[in-house]
Amino acid sequence: MFDLNNIIRPNIKALKPYSCARDEFKGEASVFLDANENPYNAPYNRYPDPLQWSVKERISAIKGVAIESIFLGNGSDEPIDLMYRAFCEPRVDNVVAINPTYGMYEVCADINDVEYRKVELDEKFQFSADKLLAKADEHTKVMWLCSPNNPTGNLLAENEIEKLLQSFNGIVVVDEAYIDFAGRDSFAKKLSQHSNLVVLQTFSKAWGSAAIRLGMAFASKEIICVLNKIKYPYNVNILTQRQALALMKEADKVADWVKTLKAERSRLVEELQKLSLVVCTYPTDANFVLTKVKDAQATYNHLVSNGIIVRNRNSVTLCGNCLRITVGTPEENKILLNELHNLE
């Protein structure tokens, strides 16, 4: 059975968190002399809402997740790092992750001095819950899944994710940075069934806001409490909070972007497959396409010398001679395809 008490690091369980001025006072007031702020230069003179309630209210309505089940951070990078700081004792605990996947899980493990165990995906880029469980021991606190996965682009099998959630006594993170481009519901819908589930989403991809740095974690309110307890008090600044609120008023615009990008993705895949330098394009549920070419380095170099940057994933496990190509505007995709034609 999953028990959060067995998972939290003892120092975090015992931690008395920093109490900021705005934590103590809740309600209406007009004279704020409690936080040593400058009374001039409104609205930037005031510390922002440490728990970002108005942003969470809108996210809750859009995503169908209860406010108490939402954590907001400085990009997804923040909750990724906090998973280690909250649950993994350096040099004692470990985590298990699919391989290949998003690089930040391993970087944050290294920074926090936590052992990172990799389990290779199969040739269809799918994982087996049993293989991940076989890599785990009594010190495994977190398992990392990414669906749709970066850099492979595919959704992970739903039944295997379910199986892992049911069989593993630690936390299972499902990173859904690309879920808006996929033809499947978010695992956030299953939070009530799984107390060990953490779902990550972000404003950096479908929401077109990588620059404002806003990431979301959805989980049980007990897990969210732990993350709130250890985060920097004012981790999401007021510019970011305001920009997110403004964008969420234009959800239709975001839906249009996603629709356009999905149509462009189909077109890009179709056109790539016509090229003789392309060996195959892998099925994708994200806003990028992983493509195996005859010579990734040569293709990459040719594109760079013409001002087009893609990601060379040649050295990544299972991705030999693969390029990861982000879906751009119709014009950008045309420029890319033209340049690839020139190489034929």
CB contact at 8 A, 169 and 196 = yes
Residue closer to ligand PLP by CB (options 202, 281) is 202
Angle, CA 281 vertex, CA 279 and CA 283 arms, to 5°? 150
- Site residues for ligand PLP, 259-318, by CB under 6 A, read none
**The binder of ligand PLP chosen from 82, 97, 142, 146 (CB under 6 A):** 146
Amino acid (one-letter) located at 185: D
Residue closer to ligand PLP by CB (options 144, 168) is 144
CB contact at 8 A, 42 and 17 = no
Stretch that binds ligand PLP, among 133-141, 187-195, 201-209, 247-255 (CB under 6 A): 201-209
Residue closer to ligand PLP by CB (options 170, 215) is 215
Binding mask 66-105 for ligand PLP (x = CB under 6 A): ---------xxx------------------------x---
Q: How many contiguous H segments (helices) and E segments (strands) does the chain have? A: 13, 11
Stretch that binds ligand PLP, among 85-93, 204-212, 219-227, 297-305 (CB under 6 A): 204-212
Stretch that binds ligand PLP, among 53-61, 121-129, 197-205, 254-262 (CB under 6 A): 197-205
177 binds ligand PLP (CB under 6 A): yes
**The binder of ligand PLP chosen from 62, 210, 251, 279 (CB under 6 A):** 210
Q: Nearest residue by C-beta to ligand PLP?
A: 75
**The binder of ligand PLP chosen from 69, 140, 150, 240 (CB under 6 A):** 150
Total residues contacting ligand PLP by CB under 6 A comes to: 13
Shortest spacing between CB 201 and ligand PLP, in angstroms: 8
Helices (H), 136-250: 158-167, 221-230, 238-248
Cα 19 from Cα 58, distance rounded (Å): 26
> 238 — phi, psi (to 5°)?
-70, -30
325: helix, coil or strand?
A: strand
Task: List CB contacts of 90: < 8 A, sequence separation 6 or more.
Answer: 112, 113, 114
**The binder of ligand PLP chosen from 188, 215, 231, 269 (CB under 6 A):** 215
Residue closer to ligand PLP by CB (options 187, 275) is 187
326 binds ligand PLP (CB under 6 A): no
> 120 — phi, psi (to 5°)?
-70, 140
Task: List CB contacts of 62: < 8 A, sequence separation 6 or more.
Answer: 248, 251
**The binder of ligand PLP chosen from 204, 220, 240, 241 (CB under 6 A):** 204
Nearest to 128 by CA among 145, 107, 104: 145
Give how far Cα 188 sits from Cα of 65, 80, 135, 212, Å.
7, 17, 26, 23
Amino acid (one-letter) located at 325: I
Residue closer to ligand PLP by CB (options 98, 114) is 98
Contact positions toward ligand PLP, by CB under 6 A?
Answer: 75-77, 102, 146, 150, 175, 177, 202, 204-205, 210, 215
